[in-house]
């Protein structure tokens, strides 16, 4: 039986109301994030069905590891969320595993990836810095030379970006993003448009740690995706690396799906249909998130809808 999860909604100073378009009932006008699949202490998703109904995902992970192939990790390793940036996020950076373990009480570092669901005309992201070396980037931060430091990239719906730990980044105003990431909430803000004062210092900068972890790379940031047609369904592999694999499926009709790992994370981005697991039928619609566990052996996706599936 798949684990359907209740998203955790977070108010943000930069958030808006676009998550309504995905079927979420918003309690405020500034909801910036919906954590769709999370066992993190800052946002534990509740199971909505089956024998574990009412339990949070971290509880199921802790007490029923067999559902996840007995994966040898103390913490649930992945997280998915949707981000609605009515205004730009702070410009920030995340540490890698080694730095976070040593400096953030043993937490995961944070590499992540973005699928652009929607973007207003001329919307942009920040990806990386305009500097040839880390020393130059750190010097520009010291001199508050922000106008020249950050690399701005125009974005469009359907694009995909991988953001490894150490990459300075931000989502700009008017962008709606689906994220898969390591299960971490460690963020070091480099610049916040003065909002650390507006928020009475509750969003303070952390430039010292940011300067420790910044990496300067010249990688191709908009990753070329690998697309194939399987039984009339479009399968787009967005990324596969040491942290996660992320695949977008465009379902049209009936797909017999074989899990590539013991458990996979599934989010419905658009449309509606059914998922049939070991003969049991579950209706699904956009905005829903669930996990196919080790117990889910025979899976069929049926209908017309778009999924993102993530796994280790």
Q: In this predicted structure, what is the pLDDT of residue 231?
A: 85
Task: Give residues with Cβ within 8 angstroms of 285, minimum separation 6.
Answer: 23, 268, 271, 272, 305
Tell me which residue of 99, 118, 265 sits closest to 187, measured CA to CA. Answer: 99
Which entry of 65, 189, 203, 261 is annotated as an active-site residue?
189
Q: What is the pLDDT of residue 197?
A: 64
* 189 is a catalytic site residue: yes
Token pair, residue 265, equals: 């994370």
| pLDDT confidence bin for 123, thresholds 50/70/90 | very high
pLDDT of the residue at 222: 62
Of all residues in the chain, the percent with pLDDT exceeding 90 is: 88
Q: Does 169 belong to an annotated binding site?
A: yes
Give the phi and the psi of residue 171 in degrees, each rounded to 5.
Answer: -95, 130
Q: Is the pLDDT of residue 195 over 60?
A: yes
What pTM was estimated for this model as a whole?
Answer: 0.94
Band (205; pLDDT cuts 50, 70, 90)? confident
- Mean pLDDT estimate for the chain: 94
pLDDT grade, residue 219 (50/70/90)? low
Half-sphere exposure of residue 297: CA atoms within 13 angstroms, side-chain side: 3
Q: Is 200 annotated as a binding residue?
A: no
Averaged pLDDT for residues 68-85: 96
Q: Which range has the worst mean pLDDT, 1-5, 49-53, 91-95, 106-110?
A: 106-110
Query: For 98-105, what is the mean pLDDT?
Result: 94
Q: Is 62 annotated as a binding residue?
A: no
Task: Please say if the pLDDT value at position 184 is more than 90.
Answer: yes
Which is more confident, 7 or 74? Answer: 7
Question: Is the pLDDT assigned to residue 147 strictly greater than 90?
Answer: no
Q: Which two tokens stand for residue 283?
A: 């209706």
């Amino acid at each position: 039986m798949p684990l359907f999860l209740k998203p955790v909604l977070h108010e943000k100073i930069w958030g808006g109301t676009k998550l309504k378009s995905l079927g979420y009932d918003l309690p405020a006008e500034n909801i910036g994030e919906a954590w769709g699949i999370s066992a993190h202490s800052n946002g534990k998703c509740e199971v909505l069905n089956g024998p574990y109904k009412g339990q949070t995902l971290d509880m199921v992970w802790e007490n029923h590891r067999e559902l996840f192939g007995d994966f040898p990790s103390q913490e649930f390793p992945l997280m998915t969320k949707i981000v609605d940036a009515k205004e730009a996020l702070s410009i920030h950076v995340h540490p890698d595993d080694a730095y976070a373990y040593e400096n953030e009480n043993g937490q995961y570092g944070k590499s992540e990836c973005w699928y652009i669901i929607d973007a207003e005309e001329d919307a942009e992201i920040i990806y990386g810095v305009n500097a040839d070396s880390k020393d130059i980037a750190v010097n520009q931060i010291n001199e508050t030379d922000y106008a020249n430091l950050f690399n701005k990239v125009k974005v469009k719906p359907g694009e995909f970006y991988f953001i490894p730990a150490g990459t300075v980044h931000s989502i700009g105003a008017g962008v709606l993003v689906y994220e898969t990431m390591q299960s971490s909430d460690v963020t070091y803000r480099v610049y916040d448009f003065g909002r650390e004062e507006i928020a009475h210092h509750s969003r303070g900068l952390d430039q010292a740690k940011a300067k420790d972890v910044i990496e300067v790379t010249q990688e191709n940031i908009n990753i070329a995706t690998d697309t194939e047609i399987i039984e009339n369904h479009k399968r787009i592999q967005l990324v596969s690396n040491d942290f996660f694999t992320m695949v977008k499926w465009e379902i049209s009709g009936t797909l017999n799906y074989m899990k590539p790992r013991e458990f996979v994370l599934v989010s419905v981005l658009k449309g509606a249909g059914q998922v049939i697991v070991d003969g049991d039928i579950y209706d699904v619609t956009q905005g829903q998130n669930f996990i196919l566990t080790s117990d889910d052996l025979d899976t069929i996706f049926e209908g017309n809808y778009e999924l993102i599936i993530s796994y280790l």
